[in-house]
Structure 1
Amino acid sequence: MEIPLDLARTLAAVIDEGTFDAAAKRLRITPSAVSQRVKNLEQQLGRVLVVRSKPARPTEAGAPIVRLARQLALLEHDALAAFGDDAAPDRPVSVPLAVNADSLATWFLPALARVVQRHPVVFDLHRDDQDFTAGLLESGTVMAAVTSQAEPVAGCVVRPLGIMRYRAVATPGYLARWLPDGPTRKAIESAPRVDFDRRDDLQSAWLEEIGADAARSPRHYVPASNDFAEAVKLGLGWGLLPAFQSDDELGLGALVPLGGPPVDVPHHWQQWNLRSTLLDAIAEEVVAESRRALVVGR
């Protein structure tokens, strides 16, 4: 059995663009031609490869085909780049990456900005919790990810980035209202906190460390990193913030530390195990930026 590469590229275009019509515009063919190519590929492989929803998504059988097409596009980009400007591709290669919200909001983007100054590339960023970004690598959705997982995903290599250290903080006004005697167990269990979403366990981990029942704590859900920090700074609740988002306010007295242990979240860079000049260039910039921004791991 062989995989026709032109058909695999068509399938990847459908997944990347989200619809058959959008893929047709990108490929400069008709939507019916896109549909026929995908059907031909499915018939040749004997598998349904795409869920025809909006947006379209690959089936379990289709995910490896999409991954192959993306790997080919990456390697083709590297090969053409080796020939110099005369062989430059007519459009930048798209590189999907996964990154957690706090990294995206604080230190990650400058690394990508340096990459685009030297390479014809556009980034398709997928934001998810650092405990779940590795799953996007496993499915072939992304080529690389910032993740808390140190064990390499199958077919990937991993490099440590450092630790993002979080400390529990609140405004003086919030403390006066909810924690006038400090974060005693009874008081902190009744005091509203801010969680990113229902999978966010940072505040729960801190509460458990100080011997409080995390399940009793009322919570706001604010699912955006900068908005989460702003909610804490406005006194909606207490929360754990990294130094990027709290040092200035702590220095001015606009935020007050609640004490207790910091919560350290290790960050790693995982990427496809390919000999790719572009993917390696992205990794080097991400690692360099992390050295400036994160705490060196123990």
Structure 2
Amino acid sequence: MLDYPALAAVAAVVREGSFERAAERLGVTPSAVSQRVRALEERLGTIVIVRGQPCIATDLGRRLCAHIDQVQLLEADLTPSLSLPANAADTPVTLKVAVNSDSIATWFPEAATDFARATGFLLEFIIEDEAHTTDRLRSGEVVAAVSTDPGAVQGCRTIPLGGLEYRACSSPDFVDRFFPDGVTEQALLRAPCLRFERRDGLQARWARENHNIELNAPMHWVPSTFGFLNFALEGMAWGMHPVMLAQPRIEQGLLAELTPGTSISVMLYWTVTRLHASALTTLTDAVRRTARSRLMQPT
């Protein structure tokens, strides 16, 4: 039988980053937290937390944190029927979700807010490229993920959400300077381009699908959705921007499309663990409802 107070201590240290802040969260002394963690590590015969600034979990520690998170979700369903008095020292239930940066910057906050208002639960977001968010789910680090992967994940169900639409944009001045004759291979070789990170292939996909050109341009690496947008607005480079963010700026004359009327869509999926917890059902309903109204739906 696992020592659940010790597991709660481990999860608190990992979430808060230190034994001191974990102690404040749990309403005990740092010494008590340290003793619980040490006793668990001695019982398991291995460390579960790498001490440092901040403290981080080992692989086993991450699995134990995922387990206690799931236990807390299930306990939350039982609490109303047990008629237990509220305890202000109890740690609020937190759901860990992996979401890509562009979804966080556009449509997902509406779904998350609806969920938080309905349940009072907390959310912790792991920001990851949409092609790799399900890796976080497979490792047990999160209970749900927004991804581009339609494949099955063991112990989970996958639900199509819709397409997040992107357009190739920069400032009007940049487009006039680098693309006076439209998007040609020579222009794309010369014009600086924005790229989110090494796995970001949206700019190359747009050039290939809309102009049959293999992109090989100078690259600025900007791992931030709003950084992407701000650098484009300043005319530093062009890039693929979510239409939800770009369209208002296009209408204001602050952004211009490299090739008007062209766009690409990234199909998104919601993959969620099959754990029978009402909070997951509520979160899934909120995500699907928002996706239906904000994302492009297949015709």
Query: What's the offset of the Cα at 1:271?
Result: 1.8
Deviations 1:230-267 (A, max 9, x none): 22233221111222012233345543333386332111
In 2, Cα distance between equivalents of 1:294 and 1:147: 14
C-alpha contact 1:80 1:89 (8 A) present in aligned 2 = no
In 2, Cα distance between equivalents of 1:41 and 1:221: 43
Q: What is the root-mean-square deviation in Å for CA atoms of aligned residues?
A: 2.2
In 2, Cα distance between equivalents of 1:81 and 1:111: 25
Aligned to 2:290: 289
C-alpha contact 1:81 1:88 (8 A) present in aligned 2 = no
Aligned to 2:114: 114
Deviates more, 1:263-272 or 1:101-110: 263-272
Query: What's the offset of the Cα at 1:45?
Result: 2.1
| 4+ long deviations beyond 4 Å | 86-89
In 1, Cα distance between equivalents of 2:232 and 2:290: 26
TM-score, length-scaled by structure 2: 0.90
1:105–1:63: structure 2 CA closer, same or farther, 3 Å change rule?
same
In 1, Cα distance between equivalents of 2:171 and 2:62: 47
One-letter amino acid of the counterpart of residue 193, structure 2: R
In 2, Cα distance between equivalents of 1:88 and 1:233: 50
C-alpha contact 2:164 2:296 (8 A) present in aligned 1 = yes
Deviates more, 1:161-170 or 1:253-262: 253-262
In 1, Cα distance between equivalents of 2:152 and 2:4: 28
Deviates more, 1:36-45 or 1:205-214: 205-214
One-letter amino acid of the counterpart of residue 33, structure 2: V
Aligned to 2:100: 100
Query: What's the offset of the Cα at 1:30?
Result: 2.1
* 1:5 equivalenced with 2:4 (yes/no): yes
- Structure 2 residues not aligned, in runs of 5+: none
Query: What's the offset of the Cα at 1:275?
Result: 0.7
C-alpha contact 1:108 1:289 (8 A) present in aligned 2 = yes
Query: What's the offset of the Cα at 1:67?
Result: 1.1
* 1:228 equivalenced with 2:220 (yes/no): no
TM-score, length-scaled by structure 1: 0.90
Query: What's the offset of the Cα at 1:295?
Result: 0.8
For residues 1-298 of structure 1, what are the structure 2 equivalents within 5 Å? 2-82=1-81, 87-88=85-86, 90=88, 91=90, 92-209=92-209, 210-214=211-215, 216-259=216-259, 262-297=263-298
Percent identity over the alignment is: 34
Partner SS state of residue 197, structure 1:
coil
The alignment of Structure 1 onto Structure 2 pairs a total of residues equal to: 295
In 1, Cα distance between equivalents of 2:121 and 2:263: 38
